[in-house]
A and B are shown apart, each in its own frame.
Chain A
Amino acid sequence: MIPAAFEYARASSVDEASKLLSKFGEDAKVLAGGHSLIPLMRLRLAQPSALVDINGIKELDHIKEDGHKLRIGALTPHVTIQNSSVVKDKLPLLAEVAGEVGDNQVRNMGTMGGVIAHADAAGDYPTLALILDAEIVTNRRTIPAKDFFKDLFTTALGPDEVVTEVVFPVANGPHKYIKFRRRLFDWAIVGVAAQKMNGGWRIGLTNVGPTPVRANAVEKALHDGAKPEEAAEHASDGLDPAGDLRASPEYKKHLARVLTKRAIQQAQGQ
């Protein structure tokens, strides 16, 4: 539970952070809230050669309304998103999900950019980003969410690339996120997001594969007029989730179906 030795540098701008990452090389990691990275380091499952601390870059902590978009700064903590009246008004699904991340301590420290860049299969924001066609903005470019999450803990980010913003569309129609877990502060065993926008349903699944999954077959069935309980039967189409201590692959597929049905029904009931 004692991390291996590492270099540490605090960046005061995104440029500086990028330069520091180049300087330290491939093994360097960005430190934002640290609520995923530091536990991994304490277990020595992650042994970065250096940490580039971006907590001093205050301009990355923001929520901006930009026409039909919401721009969430990478350093914005979950608690700010959870309580933001703008987010509650323009993308209530995101505020609700932020309120279900970890516990109070995690929500005070953990950040939007950290969750996106860490790309844990059980992370909640990546699912939302994927189904809402969000964009991940870095110091170099803008990456569509569908091209961002490559594999377990693997993203399209280059070694000296820093996430600066995540841009979500405005969507305040019917929505629901169901995060199924045994303890309130746990990661999702399976999560399901449902959002009605532009006349159609967007359905996403968390922790049923190495990256978030968009339930295209469910969306199509709903589009074709299926009832929620019928459409939800397609939620496990093509899934091959890994089993773990909490759930077997069969159980995760079952949960994907049940929770999809419930998410749609509950969203409709709003």
Chain B
Amino acid sequence: MAVSQLVGAKIHRREDPRLITGHGHYIDDFTRQGAAHAAFVRSPFAHARIKSIDVTDASKAPGVAGVYTARDFKGQLAGTHPAAPAFVADKKYIPERFPIAEKEACYQGEIVAAVLAETKGQAADAANLIQVVYEELPAVMDLEKAMASGSPKVHEGAADNISWDMTYTGPDVSEAAFKEADVVVKERILQNRLAPVPMEPRGVLAEFETYDKKLTIWMSSQNPHFIRLFVSGAMGLKESQVRVISPDVGGGFGSKISPYPEDYLVPALSRLAERPVKWIETRTESLQNATHGRGQFYDVEVAAKKDGTLLGMRMTQFLDVGAYVGTFSAFQACACLMAGGAYKWKGISARTIGILTNRVPTDPYRGAGRPEATHLVERMVDLVARELKIDPVEIRKKNFIQPQEFPYTQNFGLVVDSGEYARALDVALKLAGYDDLRKRQADLRKQGRYLGIGLSTWIELCGFGPSAATAPATGGIALVESAQVRVTPTGSVIVYTGTHSHGQGHETTFPQIVADQLGVPYESVELRHGDTAEGTAFGYGTYGSRSLAVGGVAISKAVGKVIDKGKKLAAHMLEAAEEDVVYEHGAFHVKGSPDKSKAFGEVAFASYGMNLPEGMEQGLEAVAYFDPPNLVWPFGTHIAVVEVDAETGSAKLEKYIAVDDCGNIINPMIVDGQIHGGIVQGVAQALYEEVVYDDETGQLKTGTLLDYMLPSANEIPPLSLDHTITPSPTNDLGVKGIGEAGTIAASAAVINAVCDALSPLGIKHVDMPASPDRLWKMMKEARQ
């Protein structure tokens, strides 16, 4: 390998000049000759029977090319929405889901009719003319009430509203730990429902070519290959007849992993109407229909010794599945498996219950299960510390898994690959000036001011993932990754990957790896992704912080194969034995004779020529798959400093420190960018965002960004970042994921700070979002 120059370098993102000057290509930038525009009529009720649909007026409206209801799609689409096993292999109940409702609408926003028109304005106007007669049914909104046997049902005629109820580890597993306990603390922890709000909403442009029976779909997706798999299956087409192109993707945060009703309906409309069809989601549709995240509560008990030694945990996850089971909904149950955090426990009892409600389905949202686990364990550890009057730093250090104990098999049998938790904590404490902060806190308390300091010593499992674990979880396809590296005759390099950037900067980082390994100029390496017609047979998408730790390693392996072939050819050209040829600084040379050398470009050119070794085929390219032996386990410490206004209850984030360890770093600037965005999403959950539905009617109250409290840069203080580096032993690059880390860590740090701030009032726990009205009410009650 060449001397490393690019890996670890702060290179500006290659994609940025086009993206920030408005030259990116998002779905709405594409069109096809003769395309019709689709608009969808959606149920205004959370739960209603559809009595009749009158399309007469809409059909006659200007520019209308067709009006369609469920019946029209019956011959077009088959099957039901896919629900992967994920972390709950046996589900009790997965309601049938057709992409368009026929008799019953089960959440506000469920599609009941579709219109095609010449312009999107005409389509929207005509959609308003469709007369749907509904009979409103009771909306199931409350998780606990939904579990009661007498509850109305989310779907008429269903036996109950429980999608799954799975006990990973029974009460017996933690029994001994609780017997030993000096103290037991207990809490109910809420996880507010969140909307993903990507800057680019979803969009689908589909063209079915009637004569060739070929379907091309342009859509904003995190994993185009899975979409090809699902949509081809539903439409009765071969995967080879379908091409999915996902160009620049303006954010996803998990909401663009699973297929959506429109992903089936728009291609089906194109086949029905025999013309291309385009649909672009509006912001309100996005807030209403893009899968939400979190939406859970947990009942937790923790047992500990007087000296702060953690012993055992009992926890139950109550998860709001929504009206249908999202494709990867049960992934969120990994919160149970991660509930132990960075600490050692004698026993953890964990159970997950997935409950249906008349809301839009939940599915993975940045972190998916791991922010919930971190929030839970970091809150509980603070509650124990508080109960025992121990400093939150001390209790953490006392219970951390120690560096010499890795690889560490945790309570659920997962093997934590590496870690040095106390080191990251120490760096963060120093950066924060922890002791000074505590002094300042004491001074301010004397003035009646509430300053709080919150820690989150988070860990994460990511980099999905090993075939043994993931093939059963998806229903057969292992979430490995593939890459193709193709060298042109003039020595430039095209890299195809099955992961797909939706903001992560793959076009920059992956060529950094390849250029270093090949010793060729960075500019000569081009990354191609997001098109199922290019590259290897299947790509596995981007989510779960897997692109580098799985996809990047696959690329590196493919580069290795290219070098191996190059060596064979160079040996032939240099008339040397293959084992005597070494590759360094972009050239092949004979060991000990640096003058006997062939540059990479010469070998590449020769590979397309005639004088090849016996049996060697032309060309210089390779495909590699990487099946990781384990997941990867990043970690770190975040510290939030929050002041709560004693009169108004307004929580102001003053300072935020993050020390993260994601193993070796390819591009520090991109890592910092990921941490920044992640932290802001976690802070947003802690202080601002919440999807609110009316408790009775199920009407969405946060359908615009005026009401849904997405914070802006103004609300976020400067973030102080640092890193420790503990290379992962799981892959040759020593890398771990970082895309979700900020979000996983942040909500706990902020809420721990808020609780710490309000501790003089005796307030122990605060639900999210810690909005001013909520905190004011709590302070008022505490003072009475």
Assess the A183–B712 pair: CB atoms within 8 A.
Answer: yes
Q: Does chain A have a CB within 8 A of B688?
A: yes
Q: Does chain A have a CB within 8 A of B707?
A: yes
| Given A251-B777, A258-B647, also A1-B688 (CB < 8 A) | no
- Per-residue CB contact flags for chain B residues 714-725 toward chain A (1 = under 8 Å, else 0) read 110000000000
Q: In residues 733-784 of chain B, which contact A (Cβ within 8 Å)? A: 771-773, 776-777
* B645 to A, closest residue via Cβ: A258
Q: In residues 24-67 of chain A, which contact B (Cβ within 8 Å)? A: 39, 43-44
| Given A1-B283, A245-B701, also A183-B692 (CB < 8 A) | no
In the complex, A230 Cα to B41 Cα: how many Å? 56
Q: Does chain B have a CB within 8 A of A153?
A: no
* A42 to B, closest residue via Cβ: B282
Q: In residues 236-270 of chain A, which contact B (Cβ within 8 Å)? A: 245-248, 251, 254-255, 258-259
Q: Does chain B have a CB within 8 A of A182?
A: yes
Q: Which of A39, A184, A247 contacts B715 (CB 8 A)?
A: A184
- Distance between B109 CB and nearest chain A CB, rounded to angstroms: 14
Assess the B121–A246 pair: CB atoms within 8 A.
Answer: no
- Tell me the number of A-to-B contacts counted with CB atoms below 8 Å: 61
- Distance between A105 CB and nearest chain B CB, rounded to angstroms: 12
Assess the B771–A5 pair: CB atoms within 8 A.
Answer: no
Q: Does chain A have a CB within 8 A of B711?
A: yes
Chain B residues with Cβ below 8 Å from A1 are 282-285
In the complex, A251 Cα to B715 Cα: how many Å? 22
* A44 to B, closest residue via Cβ: B128
Chain B residues with Cβ below 8 Å from A8 are none
* B651 to A, closest residue via Cβ: A182
In the complex, A180 Cα to B709 Cα: how many Å? 15
In the complex, A235 Cα to B772 Cα: how many Å? 20
Chain A residues with Cβ below 8 Å from B120 are 2
Q: Does chain B have a CB within 8 A of A152?
A: no
Chain B residues with Cβ below 8 Å from A182 are 650, 688, 709, 711, 715, 771-772
- Distance between A110 CB and nearest chain B CB, rounded to angstroms: 15
Chain B residues with Cβ below 8 Å from A180 are 648, 650, 772
Secondary structure at chain A's binding surface: helix, strand, loop or mixed?
Answer: loop
Chain A residues with Cβ below 8 Å from B125 are 4-5
- Per-residue CB contact flags for chain B residues 640-654 toward chain A (1 = under 8 Å, else 0) read 000000011010000
In the complex, A187 Cα to B705 Cα: how many Å? 12
Chain A residues with Cβ below 8 Å from B527 are none
Chain B residues with Cβ below 8 Å from A184 are 712, 714-715
Assess the B648–A43 pair: CB atoms within 8 A.
Answer: no
| Given A245-B702, A251-B776, A251-B777, also A185-B714 (CB < 8 A) | yes
Assess the A183–B709 pair: CB atoms within 8 A.
Answer: yes
Chain B residues with Cβ below 8 Å from A251 are 772-773, 776-777
- Distance between B43 CB and nearest chain A CB, rounded to angstroms: 17
In the complex, A259 Cα to B688 Cα: how many Å? 21
Assess the B124–A2 pair: CB atoms within 8 A.
Answer: yes
| Given A2-B121, A183-B712, also A245-B707 (CB < 8 A) | yes
Q: Does chain A have a CB within 8 A of B704?
A: yes
Assess the B773–A246 pair: CB atoms within 8 A.
Answer: yes
In the complex, A103 Cα to B284 Cα: how many Å? 21
Q: In residues 164-217 of chain A, which contact B (Cβ within 8 Å)? A: 180, 182-187, 189
In the complex, A43 Cα to B284 Cα: how many Å? 8
In the complex, A2 Cα to B126 Cα: how many Å? 12
* B649 to A, closest residue via Cβ: A251
In the complex, A248 Cα to B124 Cα: how many Å? 36
In the complex, A44 Cα to B44 Cα: how many Å? 15
Assess the A254–B701 pair: CB atoms within 8 A.
Answer: no
Assess the B704–A183 pair: CB atoms within 8 A.
Answer: no
Chain B residues with Cβ below 8 Å from A189 are 772
- Distance between B487 CB and nearest chain A CB, rounded to angstroms: 47
Q: Which of B284, B701, B715 contacts A183 (CB 8 A)?
A: B715
Q: In residues 475-532 of chain B, which contact A (Cβ within 8 Å)? A: none
Q: Which of B704, B712, B772 contacts A43 (CB 8 A)?
A: B704
In the complex, A258 Cα to B125 Cα: how many Å? 47
Chain A residues with Cβ below 8 Å from B771 are 182, 246
Chain A residues with Cβ below 8 Å from B702 are 245
* A248 to B, closest residue via Cβ: B773
Assess the A254–B284 pair: CB atoms within 8 A.
Answer: no
Chain B residues with Cβ below 8 Å from A185 are 712, 714
Chain A residues with Cβ below 8 Å from B706 are 39, 186-187
- Distance between B123 CB and nearest chain A CB, rounded to angstroms: 8
- Distance between B125 CB and nearest chain A CB, rounded to angstroms: 7
Q: In residues 174-213 of chain B, which contact A (Cβ within 8 Å)? A: none
Q: In residues 661-697 of chain B, which contact A (Cβ within 8 Å)? A: 688, 692
* A186 to B, closest residue via Cβ: B706
* B709 to A, closest residue via Cβ: A182
Assess the B648–A258 pair: CB atoms within 8 A.
Answer: yes
Chain B residues with Cβ below 8 Å from A43 are 284, 704
- Per-residue CB contact flags for chain B residues 107-144 toward chain A (1 = under 8 Å, else 0) read 00000000000001100110010000000000000000
Chain A residues with Cβ below 8 Å from B776 are 251, 254
* B648 to A, closest residue via Cβ: A258
- Per-residue CB contact flags for chain B residues 14-38 toward chain A (1 = under 8 Å, else 0) read 0000000000000000000000000
- Distance between A180 CB and nearest chain B CB, rounded to angstroms: 7
Among A187, A189, A245, the most chain B Cβ lie within 10 Å of the Cβ of: A245
- Distance between B743 CB and nearest chain A CB, rounded to angstroms: 19
Q: In residues 260-313 of chain B, which contact A (Cβ within 8 Å)? A: 282-285
Chain B residues with Cβ below 8 Å from A258 are 647-648
Q: In residues 625-649 of chain B, which contact A (Cβ within 8 Å)? A: 647-648
Q: In residues 144-176 of chain A, which contact B (Cβ within 8 Å)? A: none
* B715 to A, closest residue via Cβ: A183
In the complex, A248 Cα to B771 Cα: how many Å? 12
Assess the B283–A245 pair: CB atoms within 8 A.
Answer: no
In the complex, A180 Cα to B647 Cα: how many Å? 12
| Given A1-B282, A184-B715, A185-B712, also A247-B773 (CB < 8 A) | yes
In the complex, A245 Cα to B707 Cα: how many Å? 7
In the complex, A162 Cα to B779 Cα: how many Å? 48
In the complex, A1 Cα to B285 Cα: how many Å? 9
| Given A1-B283, A5-B121, A43-B284, also A183-B773 (CB < 8 A) | no
- Per-residue CB contact flags for chain A residues 84-97 toward chain B (1 = under 8 Å, else 0) read 00000000000000
In the complex, A44 Cα to B771 Cα: how many Å? 30
Q: Which of A183, A247, A254 contacts B711 (CB 8 A)?
A: A183
- Distance between A181 CB and nearest chain B CB, rounded to angstroms: 10
In the complex, A4 Cα to B129 Cα: how many Å? 12
Among B124, B704, B709, B773, the most chain A Cβ lie within 10 Å of the Cβ of: B773
Chain A residues with Cβ below 8 Å from B711 are 182-183
* B124 to A, closest residue via Cβ: A2
In the complex, A103 Cα to B706 Cα: how many Å? 13
Question: A: which residues have CB within 8 A of B?
Answer: 1-2, 4-5, 39, 43-44, 103, 180, 182-187, 189, 245-248, 251, 254-255, 258-259
Give me the 8 closest cross-chain CB pairs, A-B, nearest first: A1-B282, A184-B714, A2-B124, A251-B773, A258-B647, A247-B773, A2-B121, A245-B707
Q: Known pairs A183-B714, A183-B715, A184-B712; list 11 more (Cβ under 8 Å).
A: A4-B125, A5-B125, A39-B706, A43-B284, A43-B704, A180-B772, A183-B709, A183-B712, A245-B701, A251-B776, A258-B648
A-B contact pairs, 28 of them (CB 8 A): A2-B124, A2-B282, A4-B128, A5-B125, A39-B706, A43-B704, A44-B128, A103-B712, A180-B650, A182-B650, A182-B711, A182-B715, A182-B772, A183-B709, A184-B712, A184-B714, A185-B712, A185-B714, A189-B772, A245-B707, A246-B773, A248-B773, A251-B773, A251-B776, A255-B648, A258-B647, A258-B648, A259-B648
